[in-house]
Amino acid sequence: MRIPTWRLALTGGAIVILLLAGLGLAFASTAPTTPAANVTSAASTAAPNSGPAAGARGKARIARLLKIGRRLVHADVTVVGKDGQLVHIQRDHGTVQSIGDGTLTISEAGGGTETVSTDDATKVFVGLSAGKLADVKVGAEVFVRSLVDGGTTLAKRIIVVPAAAT
């Protein structure tokens, strides 16, 4: 019995496609991994200084991240740290309700509030630029990444969304 040419071509094409897909998966699984881009860490990295184009890329990056990140209200995540121990991370997004005396209170969507501690090691970014706790004002939109240890929630990174980005 003779196999029609079109069946041979179709079978050969399917084999090539499956082979390429398998190679792609193999390369993807062996490629070095990078941390998942998330709103707080990606928005806090400074854009390379390569002229006006870098500023435009940074603004476009902020706009993209805000489009995705503004849906975040509150997240609790447990990961394995570098030392093999469990690390509890909390992420919050909202409007600053109050700040002072080593605490930051965030008003979140849905009517909830979250209060976190701050200290001298808390890093603050206003957009892509480094800032300080004095730059965080009541009414500002913020993204906060905190470390939860026991009953204490300590803000490690605060990103203030620039007014022009809203």
What is the chain's Cα-based Rg? 23
pTM over 0.75: no
| 40 has a pLDDT exceeding 70 | no
pLDDT tens for 45-89 read 444 444 556 667 767 766 666 666 777 788 888 989 899 999 999
pLDDT tens for 99-126 read 999 999 999 988 899 999 999 999 999 9
Q: Which CATH superfamily is domain 39-165 in?
A: Copper binding periplasmic protein CusF (2.40.50.320)
What tokens were used for 30? 């062996």
Taking the domains of the chain in order of start, what are their residue ranges?
A: 39-165
What tokens were used for 24? 């792609």
